[in-house]
Every structure is written in structure tokens, then in C-alpha cells.
Amino acid sequence: MQIHRLRQLLSVERVLGPAPGPAAGTAGAAASADWSRRVRAVVERLARAGSSTLVATADGPPEESDGFVRERLLFDSPARGGFRAAVLAPAGTGPLPAVLVLGGRNARLDQLTGAEPPDHPDRDVAAHLARAGFLTLALDPGIDGGLDPDRLAGRDGGIVLAHAFALRGHSLLGALLGDALAALEWLRGHPRAAPGRTGLFGHSLGVAVALHTALLAPEPPPVCAAGHLGSYPALFARLLTGFEGAVLPGILDAAGRTVLTPVNTFFATAAAAVRAGARVRFVDVELDGLGMDPGALRRALDGERDVAAVVPVHIGGGVSPALETLLEECREHGVPVLEDAAHAFGSTLDGRAAGPFGRFGAFSFFPTKAATSGEGGLLTGARAGDLAAARLWRDHGRSPTDPGRHDRPGGNWRMGEPAAAVGTVGLERFGTALAARRAAAARYDGLLAGMGGLRPFPVPKASGSNFYKYLAYLGDGVDRAALKARLRERHGVALAGEVYDTLLCDQPFFRGPADAPGAFPRARWFAGRHVALPLYPSLTEAEQFRVAAALRSELR
């Protein structure tokens, strides 16, 4: 049973999905390049290697013997403290091709460089490379040894170290990777290193470090791998072996990670991330389409080391054209997009329906929405496996083929049959209702044109709004609360609720000292200035004239 569980855990389709298959022409090359960028971004995020500079100190004078020059070094690592290294090169003065040598977890530095006999054939790989005319820098992994054997009580010291990194939310592989990246730059700057001719050699654990280093290096070097560790499923599910220090953390779990949402949205958008164990960071909006501001998102992605997801929201039923830039930013950073389309059933962007722009899309069928089933909603997914998993989660993890089998906790998130029946009828009539909403919005555009003190929100041409809300901006000095009260008391006109008048950073649950009153200026401007006029499919032209007349009377 445990073997089954191991295989199940390690067979989950990852965020990136498979590499694109062979494809001819420019489109194939672009798809491959895009996939490569996303792989790099995800590895960089999970490794948390950062960028640092190693400070080298000579550990004694250079030694020359048997035609070699040997320099013993001490590096100071921000992640792991001090560790030993050695430069080995043929005697002489000319520039040489250089190789960073990364041994396995049991490698000894003096054996790598041939200073002492190797315990395994060809363990002295740095010496072999130096004989062949290479400048080499070999690193001591520094994983095993140094811990009190009595306190270890038979446990593996390397595994204890890997667990200690995990407790801090990091990985040992990420620390080794950060050191290797800095060592590679140090080696490229060595006086005898030939420009543009630096490579990597890895053995066992060193292969994992070398491959990740090559992936994240600003100038990707060639790599030679010996004794590759293999894939995670091969190590942990088939071979039942492997070393925790040679893997990166999983990429599907949101616990302890960050989810980015717009600061102007309904509470549930952020609360869902909190319930999944994530930390929420808010992003300002842009005022052209009321979407998440791409510039603010870029700064947030650059400032966060471990973003689980970005959640754009289609406020009021319009899909902002800025979504395209947002999606590109997320692709470059390897971060999945979860589209909150609660307001936007039937809305489009450049003719494409809202919902499938990200990995998931979620719609609300609450009674006030453009389409309704009374309660519940609709989920879209880019991958069949994701939707199959969602179906399990909604029904206590129950297998559709074996109702007595449950493989995850899930919950009671099924839509009831009465709500489904209401929703089915609503969907059959939705086309007519959407057309009525859009016609009513067009009438408001004409009725409100040139009205002082109020300006309709200009929906971007590319955005086909469903007009879940008809939004307008109040002029300077207009008190929204007082205006709404006068409209209701004097004219019997009730404006709809705002979207939204309180930012998430100001909600009691999320309020914190980091959220200064001047933060999120565009979202604050929108939250304080907009109103939503009555709009629903059965709204008559006469009723719209009444709303416009009441507004004109109170805004004079």
C-alpha cells in the first residue's frame, strides 16, 4: 500500500507539464523557448539560491609539483558558512579552459584533486582534467562529517542537515546550487581562465548541483555528468533510495508560500489562499481595465522568492487588456495563473471567453451574478488531470469508479440538484439575458453623456463586458454616501453595491503595519470614487430614464 501511495504522490502532473514535442518552424522554436523560460523560473523560485559572491581566502601558499600548480582555498558561503576548495592547473601562465568540479556527497577534496589516493577509480577527476590541460576548481561538498556521532545516534548526518534546511523553508540543494553559481563566477574571473570557455563536471550529488547550476547560470555552461541520480520518481518510488539533499521542494503545495491577488477584490479571493496555508500579498490595480497592474505585479514577483500562484480578478464583468501582459510576466517567472472570473461569465477579451486564460478559472453563480444557480459556480481547467482531481476534491476524495475508495480528504463541495436545475434553466436563457444587459449599458452610455459630476467607466474596446456592474466615477467633492442616501429617499433609486469600497489591506483580518495609508494609490482612488448603477436584464428603458433624471437632479 505504501508503494502505491509513493507512486501516486510522485505521479502528479506538475505545474509546468511536459516539454513541448518536436515542431517545425518558428512556432515550435517559440514554444520550446517559452517552456525553457518557465522551467528556469520555477527552478530559480524553488531553489531560492539567490545571488551571492564567495569570498576566497588562501589556505596556505600555492604548491607546485609534478607539473601542477595547486591552490588551497577557503570560501565563505552565506548559506553554509565556510567550506574548502582547491584550484588545480598545469604549470604555466597561459589562459586555459576551466572546469568547476562538483563531487558526490562522499567525495573528499584531496581525493578529487589527487593530493591523496582515491578510494574509487577516477575519483581524482580534477587531477585527470588538469593533466588534460584544464584549469579546475573543485569544491568540498561539506555535507557529511562535523556532527557529533554520539548525538547522531546512527542517523545520517547529511539527512539531518537536509531536514534542518527544510525546517527553515529552504533546501540543501538550493544552498549547494547558490554556492556553485558563485563559485562558477569566481572561476570565470580567475587570471588563468580563458574567456567564454568554462564548463561543469558533476558526479552523483554533484550532477544534480551541476545541472541546476547550468540551468540558472547567466551564461549557461557545458555540463559533463557522471553517475546521474535519476528522476525523483525513479529514486523515491522505484528504487526506494535517494538523498533528500539532492531534491527541490514540491511545486504544487501552497502552504508557506505566497499568493498574489489584487488589493481590490472580494474577501474570498484572498481567504481561499489563506485556507490553503499560503501567505497573501496584495498588488495594486490599473485603471484602464481595472485588472491587476502589470508593473506592480512584476515588482511583486521579483520581490518574492516563492510565489505559488497569481490570481487576477475581472472586476465588474470586464476582462482587462492588461491581462495579456500579466500572463506573460507569469510565464517568464514560471508561476501559474488562477483566474477569478466570478463576475465575468459571458465576458470576453479580443473575442476569447473569460475563464481559460490561466491554469484554472472560477465563476460564481451567486444570485446577483450575470448567470445564477442560486449558489455554486463553475470551474474551468487547462488540463484534464486538474479537472479530474477537482472532481475528487469536491466529493470527499471519493473515486468516481469505486465510491467506497477515498484517496484525499476533499470536502462536501458538490452542487445540489435543485441548484443545478435552476442553473441549467439560467444557462439556456443566458444569451438573451446577456444581450439585455449590454443593451441597457448602451442606453446608460447615451443617457449619462455630458452629465456633470459623473463619468461612466470607459470599457476598453477589446473587452466584451457582461456588465455585471455598470460602473461610473463621481466628480471631485461628491460625497458618495450622501448621494446614495438622497437618491434612495427622494427618488426611490437604490444604487448597487460597489466593487469594492474597502480594500483587502484595510479589512480587519488582513490589516497590518506594512500597509501604509498611501499604499495602492490607484486601487484607493477607484474604491473611493466609483458607483454602480442599477442594471439587470428586466430593467426597462423608463426605469433607466428615472435613474438618469435622479442623478442629474442630485448632481446639479
Strands (DSSP E) found in 140-276 = 193-203, 223-226, 258-262
Q: Report the CATH architecture of 55-246.
A: 3-Layer(aba) Sandwich (3.40)
465 to 56, 371, 438, 536, 540: CA distances (angstroms)? 60, 13, 8, 14, 20
Residue 3 is predicted with a pLDDT of: 61
Residue 11 is predicted with a pLDDT of: 59
* CB contact at 8 A, 268 and 278: no
pTM of this prediction exceeds 0.85: no
Most confident of 20-24, 50-54, 186-190: 186-190
- Is pLDDT above 80 for 50? no
Higher per-residue pLDDT: 303 or 170: 303
- CATH topology for 430-555 is Aspartate Aminotransferase, domain 1 (3.90.1150)
Q: Give the span between the Cα atoms of 218 and 216, in whole angstroms.
A: 6
Q: Which three cell numbers stand for residue 153?
A: 545516534
Ordered by start, the domain boundaries in the chain are: 55-246, 258-416, 430-555
> pLDDT for 421-444, tens place per residue?
999 999 999 999 999 999 999 999
Tell me which CATH code domain 258-416 carries: 3.40.640.10
Q: Give the span between the Cα atoms of 387 and 106, in whole angstroms.
A: 44
Residue 4 is predicted with a pLDDT of: 61
Query: Which residues lie below 8 Å from residue 260, measured CB to CB, with a gap of 6+?
Result: 280, 281, 282, 283, 292, 297, 300, 301, 304, 307, 309, 310, 311
- Is pLDDT above 50 for 1? no
**What average pLDDT score do residues 503-531 get?**
85
**What average pLDDT score do residues 181-186 get?**
93
> pLDDT for 199-241, tens place per residue?
999 998 899 899 999 999 988 899 999 876 677 777 777 677 7
Q: Which three cell numbers stand for residue 54?
A: 564567495
Residue 235 is predicted with a pLDDT of: 74
Q: Is 51 left (phi over 0), alpha (psi -120 to 50) or beta?
A: beta
Q: Which residue has the cell 527541490?
A: 248
Question: How would residue 538 be classed by pLDDT, with cut points 50, 70 and 90?
Answer: very high
Q: Which three cell numbers stand for residue 89?
A: 592547473
**What average pLDDT score do residues 119-127 get?**
85
CB count within 10 Å of CB 359 equals: 19
How large is the greatest C-alpha to C-alpha distance in the chain, in angstroms? 101
Q: Phi/psi of residue 439, each to 5°?
A: -65, -40
Question: How would residue 145 be classed by pLDDT, with cut points 50, 70 and 90?
Answer: low
CA dihedral of 409, 411, 412, 413, whole degrees rounded to 10: -140
> pLDDT for 325-367, tens place per residue?
999 999 988 899 999 999 999 999 999 999 999 999 999 999 9
